Structure 1
Amino acid sequence: MAAAESEERALLVQRLRAAVHYAVCGLCQEVAEDKAVQFSKQSLAAIAELAFRQCETFARDLEMFARHAKRSTITTEDVKLLARRSSSLLKYITQKSEELASSNMEQKEKKKKKSSASKGGRMPREQETPVTESEDSNMA
């Protein structure tokens, strides 16, 4: 059983590595076209490997931040803590986090208004539309 799990994990890591390599190659190709430079295959592989290892480090750090706070879920505060050394990245993450929070608040307000309006004046039974299972699960 452990051998199968180990093999499955190795395949997953290999797929992730390939995805990072593909993304790095695409980004480097954009830079190459924009700056009129070329990247050797060895340099692309080195950049991809560095990016993959940095992502592994970030993932471990995020896990440790959450564990230190006695949580099992990584939050935006953990990500901000991770990005604290890059002021521009921290500023960007903070801005996006605030945008998401305000968007979530707006959606909650709309749901509240919609539910209070439907409680006040219910539609006749034959005009009501049934809630599908997917809509119901999205409301939770």
Structure 2
Amino acid sequence: MHYGYLAGNSKMADDDGYDELAYEQRLKAAIHYTVGQICEQLAKDEDVVFTRQFIATLAEATYKQCGILATDLELFAKHAKRSVINSEDVKLAVRRANPLYLHLTSLNEKQAAINEVEKEKKKKKKAKEASSEYRINGNGLKTCVGDL
């Protein structure tokens, strides 16, 4: 949020507005570039031609759809009384696009399995460290005297 006008500093509010506009333009340019690259690759692979107007329209539609998705994700998290968007919010947002939903569910399950393995490794390492005893030898160095 921009509060420059509250302090009576209209130049600060103008600068923030300019920065926000510049950011939005850079984001749109990046989306346009990416859509253009994808269309170029498809044109080669499928032997089709995409006009510049088509690419610009598709890029603008992509930008707007991303904005709608972002708003939906924020609202799903807020409805669940959370301040952080999670994978369940994303799956809810794409529930009607079944192949995408299945792909995201698969990725989510794989990540959960990886997280579980990492959690077990940390738990074993912590238990191992807790079961070991240390003592100071004659040289003033710690030595481990536990079951390794």
User: So what's the TM-score if we normalise by structure 1?
Assistant: 0.83
Deviations 1:80-136 (A, max 9, x none): 110011111111111111111111111111111122222222678568xxxxxxxxx
CA offset digits 1:36-94 (Å, max 9, x no partner): 11211111111111111100110011111111112111111111110011111111111
Counterpart among 68, 74, 96 of residue 57 in structure 1:
68
Unaligned stretches of 5+ in structure 2?
Answer: 1-11, 136-140, 144-148
Q: Following superposition, which runs of at least 4 residues in structure 1 exceed 3 angstroms of deviation?
A: 122-127
CA RMSD in angstroms, aligned pairs only:
1.9
* Alignment map for 1:1-140 (pairs within 5 Å): 1-121=12-132, 125=141
Mapped partners of 2:53, 2:134: distance in 1: 67
Q: Distance in 1 between matches of 2:20 and 2:134?
A: 53
Relative to its length, the structure with more strand (as a share) is 2
Scaled by the length of structure 2, the TM-score of the pair is: 0.78
SS at match of 1:47: helix
Tell which has more relative contact order, 1 or 2 (C-alpha 8 A, sep 6+). Answer: 1
> Which protein is richer in helix relative to its size?
1
- Matched to 1:94, the amino acid is T
> d(CA) in 1 for partners of 2:93 and 2:64?
15
* Greater Rg over alpha carbons, structure: 2
- Structure 1's unaligned 5+ residue stretches are 128-140
